[in-house]
Amino acid sequence: MASAASSEEQKVSPSKKRKMKDDDAASKASGVMAYLQTSLSKESLSQLYLDPTRGRYVCRAVLQELPMTSQQVVVRLICCGGSFPRNLVNIWCGKKYWGHKQIMEMVKWAILKQPADDDAAIQLTDEFFQGYKAALHSMDTSPWSPLTPAQVEVMEQEASAVEGKPVKFPAMTQEDLERYTQSQWDAVLHYLVGTPNLDVQPNPAISHFLLETKLMQPDPEYRGDPEEAPLVITRKGYDFMLQDSTQQVWHFVLQYLQSIERQGNEKAVVFKREALLVLLCLSYAKFGECYASAVLSKDGRRIVRDLALFGLLYVKKVGKKSVFYPTRIAMQLVGGAEASSSSKSGKRGGGGGMWSWSSKALDSALAHPYPSDSSHLAIIVQTNFQLCAYTTSELHVSMLGLFCEVQTIRRLPNVVFMAITRDSIKGAFALGIQAHQILRFLEKHVHPKLRDNTTSPIPSNVVDQVYLWDRERHRVEWNEVFMHQCVLDGEFHAVQSYTMEHQAHAWSNAGRNQLFIKFPYAEQVQSFVRKWRAKAAAG
């Protein structure tokens, strides 16, 4: 097929590009594990492994991060007492799968001791050895056990006794939790985009965070006391808005960890370790189950309260005791890399970030868009560049307005129609939003009716066109140059070869003896010219 043949190739280029970008995103991958690997010292890691009750879960989680061969090696080493000769370990695996690279990776994780030389025995660190041994010995699957109905009843009774009136336990379904996360998180984003008349006001700590992370900045045009200047969204903020929600949340959590770090004292170090442990343990918790805060340490309880600010956890007091529900988004924080690839899996299962709701929740939200849960979003992009979004939320309208033509908007009770135009997309580019971000955003929020399609839910002509518009931006490149007019042919050749050698050459016109020199090199070349002329005059 002619056009298929020709178009196939055409298709490759954008998708290749997309893949590249995805990898790019993965390299910036977010998540607790990535944080452990890149930002923690080996000593801090070892400390985590050593934690008496939760170290084993850390070890398990870390082991899962390794490639299969390395996992094998670790388990065998544990059975062998923690150390084994290098050449024999090599025989276990074969050269292809096991070598210096894998060893260094495990050293970095503080799993192996740094080998003295190439022939030294492979040796597990004591901390990991102990930690993982504990993991093998224990039968628990979860660090915390959820409350049983009987326990709940007891709590209710106790609370009623204290309060002097019957107290109902705050039962939350999975959908309730998702809605809760959504509303909390939306409050943050609403604040970021400046929706007037918010129902849910975010905690002041959050606006502090927004400023801290440079997602917002004091209005530079504000005349008056700089302390009083209103906050405006930054370019980074626009970029942030269209990100994967998991990434967005991680962004905040990271900021949280860093702010603890900045205190710098001994107490902060302990506190941060506790925070990491809580985050790791959360990944072993069950979604939709309730846990008593009593399972946590004092620091742990503070951390849980802080995380609840972002809607990561749902905390509730029952009488004097408090309970908490982990949310889906909190549990996904550990596997950040996984979340960044969820644009692929999201299409199938609707998993991934919190906006891609479980299809059941989304379906019911579409059926009852009012009044409580107004934050669902289901998008249909049509071949005529019309975008149709099932939403009632101002936030989503504002977000779509980033790359859709605002003037074409038609709002109906539960749906919004907008057009994607060249101008609107270019406007988004000017704000620093990437083509692939726009498309990923659209793909992620696609209407459930389109999900079961095997093909891409966004029409291919729209995808191609967006990439073509993106490409248009790079057609003209602006370079600062310095034009040098040579008098003599000899001078031209000499200067040309000189500039070529020093990578200072931008363009030259032999007919007119004109040379265009990259601007940073202008002076250097000028001095060469002076020298050459002096030499020519002398010679």
Site residues for other proteins per CB under 8 A: 1-4, 6-7, 9-10, 13, 191, 193-194, 196, 204, 207, 218-219, 228-233, 238, 366-367, 369-370, 380, 382-386, 388, 392, 398, 401-402, 405-415, 417, 419, 421-423, 447, 449-450, 459-461, 464-465, 468
Of 56, 46, 51, 72, whose CA–CA distance to 140 is shortest? Answer: 56
Name residue 233's beta-bridge partners: 216
Q: Which is nearer to other proteins, 25 or 420 (CB)?
A: 420
CA end-to-end distance (rounded Å), the chain: 68
DSSP secondary structure of 322-378: EEEEE-HHHHHTS-HHHHHTHHHHHHHH--SSSSS--HHHHHHHHH--SSS-----E
* Residue closer to other proteins, measured from CB, 219 or 523: 219
Q: Which is nearer to other proteins, 89 or 402 (CB)?
A: 402
Buried-state track 351-370, b at ≥16 Cβ within 10 A, e below 16: ebbbbbbeeebbeebbeebe
DSSP codes, 63-103: HHHS-HHHHHHHHHHHHTTSEE-HHHHHHHH-TTT-SHHHH
Q: Which residues, including other chains, have CB under 8 Å from residue 126's CB and lie 6 or more apart?
A: 82
Q: Which is nearer to other proteins, 94 or 226 (CB)?
A: 226
Cβ partners under 8 Å of residue 34, min gap 6: 336, 337
State the Cα–Cα distance between residues 502 and 383, nearest whole angstrom.
51
What is the closest distance, in whole angstroms, from the C-beta atom of residue 136 to other proteins in the complex?
Answer: 51
* Residue with smaller CB distance to other proteins, 354 or 404: 404
Nearer to other proteins among residue 227 and residue 501 (C-beta): 227
The distance of closest approach from Cβ of residue 471 to other proteins in the complex, given in angstroms and rounded to an integer, is 9
- Residue number, 77 or 380, with CB nearest to other proteins: 380
DSSP 116: S
In the bound complex, what is the minimum distance in angstroms from residue 204's beta carbon to other proteins? Answer: 6
Cβ–Cβ < 8 Å for 440, 467: no
Least Å from the CB of residue 285 to other proteins: 33
Nearer to other proteins, 85 or 226 (CB): 226
| Cβ 507 to other proteins shortest distance, Å | 15
CB of 70 to other proteins, least distance (A): 43
| Residue entry with tokens 């326990």 | 151
Contact between residue 467 and residue 435 where contact means Cβ atoms under 8 Å apart: yes
Q: Please tell me whether residue 534 adopts helix, strand or coil conformation.
A: helix
**Nearest to other proteins of 417, 532 (CB atom):** 417
- Least Cβ distance, residue 425 to other proteins (angstroms): 10
Categorise residue 225: left if φ over 0, alpha if ψ from -120 to 50, beta otherwise.
beta
DSSP 3-state of 291? strand
Query: Which one, 191 or 256, has the nearer CB to other proteins?
Result: 191
- How many Å apart are CA 390 and CA 413, to the nearest integer? 9
- Burial class of residue 150 in the structure, from the number of CB atoms within 10 Å of its CB (0-12 exposed, 13-18 middle, 19+ buried): exposed
Work out how close the CB of 244 gets to other proteins at its nearest, in angstroms, rounded to a whole number: 20
Minimum distance of other proteins from residue 23's CB (angstroms):
23
Q: Whole-number minimum distance, CB 432 to other proteins, in Å?
A: 13
- Measured from the CB atom, the residue of 36 and 233 that comes closer to other proteins is 233
| Least distance in angstroms from the C-beta of 428 to other proteins | 10
Considering the complex, what minimum distance in angstroms separates the CB of residue 333 from other proteins?
A: 27
- Of residues 38 and 455, the one with the C-beta less far from other proteins: 455
- Nearer to other proteins among residue 77 and residue 192 (C-beta): 192
DSSP 8-class letter at 226? G
SS3 47: helix
Give the residue with the Cβ less far from other proteins, 344 or 449: 449
The token duo for 46 is 């070892």
Residues counted in the chain: 539
Q: How far is the CB of 409 from other proteins (least distance, A)?
A: 4
Enumerate residues 6+ apart whose C-beta is below 8 A from 260: 268, 271, 272, 275
d(CA 89, CA 350): 42
CA dihedral 88, 94, 99, 102 (to 10 degrees): -100
What are 69's two structure tokens? 């061969």
Amino acid type, 308: A
Taking alpha carbons only, the member of 523, 522, 343, 311 closest to residue 445 is 343
Nearest approach in angstroms of CB 127 to other proteins is: 45
